[in-house]
Structure 1
Amino acid sequence: MRLLRLIPSSVAALALLFSATTSAHAQFLFTSSDIVQTPLPLGHGFLLNLVPGSGAQLYLTTTAEYYSFSTSNIAQLGSYSKIGAFQAVGVFPAGQSFIAANPGNPGHWGVTAYDANYNPTYYDYTLAPPRAASASPTLSDPGGFLPSIAIALDGTVYTREPNNVISKFTSIFTNSTPALTFGNTGPHALSGSGVIALDTTSNVLYATSFPSAGGALMERFNSSGTYLGSFALPVGTNAVYTVDSQGVVYVADMTSSNGYIYDGATGTQLGEFHGNWTSDVNYAISKGGVPTIALTDNGILAFDTGTGLNLDLLDVSSVNAPGTTLSTGGAAVSQPSITAAGNYTIADSGGSLTLTGTGSSVGQILNVGAGTQLIVGSGASLSVGVLRLQTDGTNFGSALLDGGSTLSAKLAGSGTLSFDGGTFQASGDTGLTPISIGSGGATIDSNGHALTDYASMTGTGSLTKQGAGSLNLYGNNSYTGPTTVTGGALQFGNPNALYGGDTTQWDANHVVVQSGATLAVNVGASDEFTADEILILTSGAKLASGSTFALDTTNASSGSFLLPGAIADNPAAALNLEKLGSNTLVLTGANTYSGSTTISDGTLQLGNGGTSGSIAGNIVDNATLTLDRGDAVTLSNVISGSGSLVMAGSGSLTLTSANSFTGTTIVSGGTLVMGNLSALAYSTLDYDNQGGTVSFGTLGSASLGGISGGESLALANASSSPVALTVGGNNAATTYSGALSGAGSLTKVGSGILTLTGANTYTGGTTVTGGFIDFASSSNLGSGLVTLNGGGLQWASGTTTDISSQLAPLGSNGGTLDTNGNSVTFASALSGTGSVTKAGSGTLTLSVANSYSGSTTVSGGSLQFGVDNALPSPTAVSVSSGATLDLNGHAGSVGSLAGSGSVALGSGSLSVGSDGSSTTFSGVIAGSGSLTKTGSGSLTLSGANTYSGPTSVSGGVLNLNGSASNSAFTVASGGTLSGSGSVGALTVASGGTLSPGNSPGTLSAGNTTFAGGGSFTWQINAASGSQGQNPGWDLLNVNGTLTLSASGFNKFSINLASLTLSDSPGAVSDFNPNLSYHFTFLSTSAGISGFDPSAFSLNTSAFSNSFSGSWSVSQDGNDLSLNYASAVPEPSSYATLISLSSLAFVASRRRKSRRSS
């Protein structure tokens, strides 16, 4: 049974109560101008009390629709700004009904019923006269619609009284689903004391507004309660709204004061609403699922000022707020994460924001306002483009990293970054703000970047520097915990930055540097580390084996810093030393640290003109290493890197290791002695009269990466024995103007160019195995022979010197001759086993017949014949694009021809093919001369050739895919002409073969002659194809006449060859031996002379298809055709019939023919 009743109350007011007794829908919309607050009993579910202030409005729904409360709680603030979600489940259903007071007939009630089409029917009911307080009069039911309704009254029902009062209800019982409706839109009120209570299956519809303030409205639903319609509360106080845990709340704009949220269970005031959501109390949102607080761009989530405030978003996934401002208002706000693509601001309103989860990110700038703190909670993480800790001049924004937390950002502003076990990871080069280190310690990860902190570090915790990159500290730091460097470099700009300059704390208990990490200090300026402090630190700190101690001289006031003491391993570990910064670090002590020494910048100088200053380990020289000693020093340390070596002072320096450094070696004083042949193997010796000398010591051979300068050098050792000097290992291009003398030799290696401009007199000869020697006269090359064995000679600009008489036989790796724009003539022959390359612009003329056995390449300029057969006949010639092989009217024979350049015949003749190889030449052959193809290989010509002399194919294959229309071709015995290009007049002589196309295709020719003994190779890959096409069969297109000089005694052969569609030898896929075919294989423009069918022989040995018919040749006007006749007897008009029985009789029979053309 559903219940609607008035319950007397001790409070002189009324309240509306929906009791949660069932799961049915309950709908309610109420207006009143005189409602005051009254206590309510609690039913099922969650009770939320909302007390709007002056001008506040409460909207339950916005349309006449059902809204289900079965899924989630929804609060909607401001102009329908949502917090949560709701679900619409449909409109007011057809077939439903509701009860209404009849406004025109006092004492009557009406029932309105809707059918399935929403058409209403109205039923009028009359109340029985009152009997007694306990009586239960019933409504009469003239329509029979509600037969079981009963109403029990203890008084009178009033309608449309002047004050619009309905009072003294006791109860109304019904077994249907009634609805109570105030039908007009005017103001209505309930008077008296008591409560109207509906169970949750009732539907109550009210008007849409409350006309005035005052009174109390309390409404509560269980999990399935539903509101229909909407209403607004007027300005006033003490209006209360209650909804259970599955309810929905829509709150209109609350722009005035005194809008409140109450705890429904206790009546405790929870907070106050304004236009922007503000709070001065504690809130806890701990709802199941994943609710979201979503603010639009540039929105504000603000918590008004107060003390001891906290917002704990326990299960909220994130606040996603690009461009959003969060105003804590003094509150301690807690949430798992924030996500913003742009900027995010925590306003300068005091309080704090604590992040408790992982994955927070702000794409650009996270601003922490003055007086406000950002806390990255234990285990939480935050990634920010820039974290800016702001100030208003008095207060500062700050950040705290709790234990296990990580902040990845660049820093800005002047607020304090506090640590209590957290990690700061740099996302770029950045400065740091003041740092406070709690007992949990601080970890700073430079993450490959350079971090600088001029502010102070305070606190009792420890500092750990990790990750690649550097952390540079310049402030007066007073933190007292240990300092540990696990990765990258930690650099102290002055003593005060390290425990305030208290050297008693520079010990192994406070300063620990692990293997692979670096501890650096600045030296040389008045406020930087002194020599004594350096020794205190290196001897006291715990510097693990493999760690590095670095000295930075960037600020050295006099341009250098002198360290007289000795740095040793600590205690027995292999310590490394690094020189940082510009200027010079001078070591005059006998340093015994056993690790390596790295020079990253500036100069590391050993000694200061005296007899001391040394290091023990190997040296990585990436800047400058200077030795300034007045005595004889032997340096056995291996020197590597890209830096330079300077020999200064008055003593001598002997290098005894095979060094690999690639910088310049300068001898400005004393003597540099090469005690190892590879001591300077990759360094360029700049030997330029700077005051020092170079000695080869006892060596018989030595290597220099390069040589430059103008000081003369004798290729002899200390005992005057010759020295074989090798130059060029660093591949650099250098110029040496000094004179090389003595009985020694010079070998040029590497890819660089060594320019020799001096009058060299060394007699041991010159060998070029790599790169070039550039010269201007033969004297630059010494007095011995020059051997090219992988390298070359380059003529200086304006030089035409013939040095062919100085050239020794070519080595197996050959040589390159770069004329460099000059015109040079060789009067002596080139010999040897190597190849020759003509490079560079300009012309090299060979005026004698050369005998070298290697190949010839023309990669630039022109290689010109000065005599017949200037090139050796077996040589394989390649002419690069833009280059020219110029026969200059002479005769020449080469092994093969390849490339894309030019061949200028002039009136000369060129024979190609003696080496039997197969090559392609895509360039142009020009001139009036002739071309002969010899040998067993193939020569493919694919260019547009213009030469006009004859072409003879006497061996192998000349495959013409380009053009040579100006040349008359003769295919001689042993030669084959193929391709899909064009030639001039064509003669296929006895023993010669014509094979048009490229499996298959068309070859075009001028007037053509087929001589007896010659042959035509005809290829086909598709019987249904086209002549001269692929797929199809070969065609010779004669632009002129065809003359047949063969006879029955000296026949011209036609060789039939079948191909697959992939142009491989094999059967023609669509050839049917039971059909007859007619294939045109030669077409002329001016006719055929001398045709005699008996002068042709057909060879089918290369035709893979099986057939039982016969093949023949016929003339069809200006064409020649191959015909296949099937074995089925049929008429024939062919000129020649080759069959198994006879050639003497031609029968006239009926013929079925399939013709293809």
Structure 2
Amino acid sequence: NLATRITSYSGGSAIYNVAGNNSATLPSATLTSATSFGSDAGLLTLAGNITSNSFAVSLLGNGGDITLTGATFSGGNSAFNVTMTGGTATIANNLTTGTSSVVVGGTGTAIFNGNVTSTSTGNGVAVSGSGVNTFNGTVSTSGGVAGSISINTTGGTTTFANNVTINSTGTLTIAGSGTTVFNGSGKTVTTNGGAISISGAAVTTFDSAVNSGSGTWTVSGSGNTTLNGAINSGAGTWAVSGTGNTTVNGAITGSGTLTKTGSGALTLAATNSNYSGAITFNTSSTNIGTILATANNALGTGAVAATYQTGATGLQVQLSGGITLGNAFTTTGAGAAGGISGIIRSVAGANILTGNVTLTGGGGSSTYRADSGTSLAFNGNIGADSNAGRYIILVGAGDFSFGSAGSIVQTLTTGGTTGLWSTNTGTTTINSTANTYTQVTAIGAGNTVLVVNLSNGGVAGSLGMAAATATNLLIDGGTLKYSGSGAQSTDRLFSIGSATNGGGGAILDASGATSGDTMSFVGAGSLGFNGISGAGTSAAETGARTLTLTGTNTGANTLTSVIGDQAATTGVTSVTKTGAGTWVLLGANDYTGLTTISAGTLQIGSGTTGTLGSGAVTNNATLSFGRTNSSTVANAIS
């Protein structure tokens, strides 16, 4: 033993180990000045209790190890410093530093097996350097407003394996570029209203629960943050920014707002039914990351506002796992651009929104995406606020649906107008029969819009209540399908797009369940030639086009509107009949393109109306004539 009866010490280094394994017993040592214990090599073991009255105690390792095996370090108002350059410092003592701090640095290892208590008005615990540091006991600070815990490391890992408590409104600050882990099983990090700030390149994981009270959360920088334990954030607000990713696997309880900016992703993976705060997702002209929701009510029960500014990229609320969200959404702008566009996006599973969705901003659109093999259902009302010209743009290879419990409405406030642009290549099912929107409905290439009813222009129905003019219903390479029960008819005209802007043609699919469940277009006038020229925009299109009549219904599905050409020679219209069902042409048709009957029955006329176009006819199924008066058919028929 180097010392066995040290009871007091004054000045400088008390014991310094230069080689070998040595020990000293300090039965009840009282330090009367700043004191250091060091080890250059080997192991220095210090046994006994240490008391210091306002004088700092330092453990210094330069390749050697130091172990304190006593029960307590009573510091009065004395700092306890551990700086290990290589080597390991193991402190079994419970540390009480009064109004001073526990300060850890260096590149070595520090292990605190006892409890750490500080009433410092600064940082009660401050960790720096790039070492490996472990706090196995409880850590508690209570120094008023400034009584904080600071982790600002340049590497290594700092681990808290027990309860961590800031008994004041001090701040838990994690910065630098090291790793910090709170991994106490069944333990809690409590800040009692103090702020939690995570910045820099710090990588932070909370396996412990977190009780932050009304304190604010600020998560920024380039490091990733993961919260696996439950979080009680009270009325405290959240600000998530920077380029790092934040993953919240634990359930959140609280009412404070959450604001997401920056290019990092935010994942909310728990059922947050007890979180009622509003979520704001805002971007400027810079890139912004996504919010990914992977559980029912992952976004809580509050309102969600997603605002996309011109020139930004990446803004997107992503849904995954077949989840249901009950939030009321407000969407402004198109959202993420390019091949992953959309302000709300279904990335996996059949996902459902049951709250209302309000499109704000006026004069533009909000884009919603469903990826291949996924679906997105709007079961609440969706429509514009008080601004005019808001379009619902549907994109992606997946499916969409609008539930019978909700409607696509003209406006969720007053004065706005809404339109529907269904340009995804999956199926869009409109189950509502009371949609009141008055802007254009567009069906894009590869898309099928499945409706449960047809109504006249100006009357609420599956396709809204726009006027009956052909420019208000565009079918540009897509399909309008009816497969419900009951005969449905509409006086609405429609436009057939050409291939000018990548679409082309129109398909009417009559697949009602029984022969009486027919669809009929009874509008007086001619079909139009507008097509989709962009998101929420349309234009007259030149070029040839084909109207395809199909379906399985064998009743009298009728088209009274006149089928004509857009232009002679270069803008001719052709008609193709496919499917096992029956279609009846009742208009004074003057199209000059081909008529091709590949399956089922194409009937020309009924009573005294209905003509065939003047082009050649290829009949590989059934061509019938239903007029009761005399008529002349001069077409070449083969």
Normalising to structure 1: TM-score of the pair? 0.33
Question: How big is the shift at 1:733?
Answer: 6.4
Amino acid in structure 2 at the alignment position of 1:898 = S
1:368-400 residue CA offsets vs partner (Å, 9 max, x unmatched): xxxxxxxxxxxxxxxxxxxxxxxxxxxxxxxxx
Quick check: 1:766 aligned with 2:188? no
* 1:1135 pairs with one of 592, 612, 618: 612
Q: Secondary structure at the match of 1:990?
A: helix
Matched residue SS, 1:735: coil
User: What corresponds to 2:137 in structure 1?
Assistant: 709
Unaligned 5+ runs, structure 2: 3-14, 27-34, 51-56, 74-78, 309-314, 333-342, 385-389, 410-417, 455-462, 533-543, 596-603, 605-610, 617-630
C-alpha displacement of 1:951: 4.5
SS in 1 for 2:157: coil
| CA offsets 1:804-845 (integer angstroms, 9 cap, x no match) | 3x325433357566563x7x452x433462575433234145
Q: 2:324 aligned with 1:884, yes or no? A: yes
Correspondence for 2:60: 635
- Deviations for 1:944-998, whole angstroms, at most 9, x for unmatched residues? 875454458825434262462633588942733552574323549634322455x
Whole-angstrom CA distance in 2 between matches of 1:975 and 1:1109: 21
- Indicate conservation of the 8 Å contact 2:119/2:142, yes or no: no
1:771 aligned counterpart, secondary structure = strand
Aligned counterparts of 1:745 and 1:712: Cα–Cα separation in 2 = 11
- Give 5+ residue unaligned stretches, structure 1: 1-561, 564-586, 592-603, 620-624, 1022-1031, 1057-1072, 1101-1106, 1127-1132, 1140-1145
Query: Which secondary structure does the structure 2 equivalent of 1:635 belong to?
Result: strand
Deviation at 1:709, TM superposition (A): 1.6
**Distance of 1:588 and 1:865 partners within structure 2:** 57
1:973 pairs with one of 422, 426, 440: 440
- 1:846 to partner: Cα distance: 3.4
1: CA distance, partners of 2:37 / 2:238: 51
Report the counterpart of residue 964 of structure 1 in structure 2: 429
Is the CA contact 1:1080–1:1119 (under 8 Å) kept in the aligned structure 2? no
Q: Does the residue aligned with 1:934 lie in a helix, a strand or coil?
A: strand
2:161 maps to a residue whose letter is: T
Correspondence list, 1:628-707, <5 A: 628=46, 635-638=60-63, 646-648=67-69, 655-657=82-84, 666-667=92-93, 677-679=105-107, 685-688=112-115, 702=128, 705-707=133-135
- Does the CA contact (< 8 Å) of 1:1044 and 1:1091 recur in 2? yes
Using the TM superposition, give the Cα deviation of residue 655 of structure 1 relative to its aligned residue in structure 2, in angstroms: 4.5
Match of 2:623 in 1: none
| Residue equivalent to 2:541 | none
Give the alignment's Cα RMSD to 1 decimal: 6.1
Q: Does 1:992 align with 2:473?
A: yes
Task: Tell whether the 8 Å contact from 1:929 to 1:950 is kept in structure 2 after alignment.
Answer: yes
Q: Tell me how far apart the structure 2 counterparts of residues 689 and 698 of structure 1 sit (CA, whole Å).
A: 9
Separation (CA, whole Å) in 2 of partners of 1:695 and 1:1119 = 87
Secondary structure of the residue that 1:862 maps to in structure 2?
Answer: coil
Cα distance change of structure 1 residues 654 and 1151 upon mapping to structure 2, 3 Å threshold: closer
Distance 1:985 1:684, change over 3 A: farther
Distance in 1 (CA, whole Å) between partners of 2:44 and 2:121 is: 18
> What SS does the aligned partner of 2:295 have?
coil
Q: Which amino acid aligns with 1:876?
A: Q
Match of 1:942 among 396, 399, 410: 399
Whether the 8 Å CA contact 2:546–2:574 is kept in 1: the answer is: no
Counterpart Cα distance in 2 of 1:963 and 1:665 = 65
Deviations 1:1128-1151 (A, max 9, x none): xxxxx9723389xxxxxx997683
* 1:905 has 2:354 as partner: yes
What is the CA–CA distance in structure 1 between the aligned matches of 2:357 and 2:169, rounded to whole Å? 50
Quote the sequence identity (%): 12
| Partner SS, residue 67 of structure 2 | strand
Deviation at 1:886, TM superposition (A): 0.8
Cα separation, 1, equivalents of 2:21 and 2:326: 61
Paired letter, 2:62: N
Please point out which of 1044, 1047, 1059 is paired with 2:521. Answer: 1044
More strand by share: 2
How far apart are 1:862 and its partner, in Å? 0.9
Per-residue deviation, residues 1043-1079 of structure 1 (Å, max 9, x unmatched) = 435555x5323879xxxxxxxxxxxxxxxx9xxx998
- Give me the whole-angstrom Cα distance separating, in 1, the residues matched to 2:474 and 2:316: 26
Instruction: Report the Cα offset of residue 803 of structure 1.
Output: 1.8
Answer whether contact 1:1098 1:1112 (CA < 8 A) is retained: no
1:903 Cα deviation from its structure 2 partner: 1.9
| Counterpart-to-counterpart distance in 1, 2:375 and 2:632 | 56
Offset at residue 938 of structure 1 (A): 1.9
User: Match of 1:846?
Assistant: 276
Report the AA paired with residue 886 of structure 1: G
Residues 647 and 670, structure 1, Cα contact 8 Å, conserved in 2: no
SS of equivalent residue, structure 1 residue 964: strand
Q: By how many angstroms is 1:795 displaced?
A: 6.8
Retained in 2: the 8 A contact 1:590–1:612? no
Question: Is the contact between residue 976 and residue 994 of structure 1 (CA under 8 Å) also seen in structure 2?
Answer: yes
**Of the candidates 371, 374, 381, which is equivalent to residue 922 of structure 1?**
374
Say whether 1:747 aligns with 2:174.
yes
CA distance in structure 1 between the aligned counterparts of 2:148 and 2:217, rounded to whole angstroms: 18
Task: Mark the CA change 1:726 to 1:609 in structure 2 (over 3 Å): closer, same or farther.
Answer: same
Please give the alpha-carbon distance, in whole angstroms, between the structure 2 residues aligned to 1:902 and 1:935. 18
Match of 1:736 in 2: 163
Cα 1:665–1:942 change in 2 (3 A) is farther
Matched, 1:1091 2:560: yes
Distance 1:891 1:712, change over 3 A: closer
Q: Per the alignment, in what secondary structure is the counterpart of residue 843 of structure 1?
A: coil
Paired with 1:860 and 1:752, the residues of 2 have a C-alpha distance of 25
Aligned to 2:297: 862
Question: 1:369-408 maps to which residues of 2 (within 5 A)?
Answer: none
Please report how far the alpha carbon of residue 1118 of structure 1 lies from its aligned counterpart in structure 2 after TM superposition: 1.1
Deviation at 1:878, TM superposition (A): 1.7
Distance 1:1078 1:612, change over 3 A: closer
Return the letter of the residue paired with 2:419.
S
Aligned to 1:117: none
CA contact (8 A) 2:427 2:450 kept: yes
Deviation (angstroms), 1:635: 3.5
What is the deviation of 1:881?
1.0
Per-residue deviation, 1:901: 5.0
State the alpha-carbon separation in 1 of the partners of residues 429 and 80 from structure 2: 72
Counterpart amino acid of residue 771 in structure 1: T
Q: Is the 8 A contact 1:655 1:673 kept in 2?
A: no
Alpha-carbon distance change, 858 to 778 in structure 1, aligned in 2, over 3 angstroms: same
1:170-215 alpha-carbon deviations (Å, 9 max, x no partner): xxxxxxxxxxxxxxxxxxxxxxxxxxxxxxxxxxxxxxxxxxxxxx
Distance 1:745 1:757 in 2: 13
The 8 Å contact of residues 471 and 530 in structure 2, kept in 1 or not, is answered as no
Change (3 A) 1:1011 1:766: same
Q: What's the counterpart of residue 451 of structure 2?
A: 983
Q: Distance in 1 between matches of 2:148 and 2:211?
A: 24
The secondary structure found in structure 2 opposite 1:1118 is: strand
Q: Equivalent residue for 1:406?
A: none
Distance 1:731 1:1043, change over 3 A: farther
Distance 2:508 2:181 in 1: 56
Using the size of structure 2 for normalisation, the TM-score is 0.54
Q: Check whether the contact 2:323–2:350 (CA below 8 A) recurs between aligned residues.
A: yes
- CA–CA distance in 2 between the matches of 1:915 and 1:1109? 33
1:989-1028 map, 5 Å: 990-995=471-476, 1007=488, 1009=490, 1011-1012=492-493, 1014-1016=495-497
Q: Quote the residue 2:338 is aligned against.
A: none
Residues 542-553 of structure 1 aligned to structure 2 (within 5 Å): none
Whole-Å Cα distance in 1 between the matches of residues 254 and 59 of structure 2? Answer: 52
Superposed, 1:230-629 pairs within 5 Å as: 590-591=18-19, 605-609=21-25, 616=40, 627-628=45-46
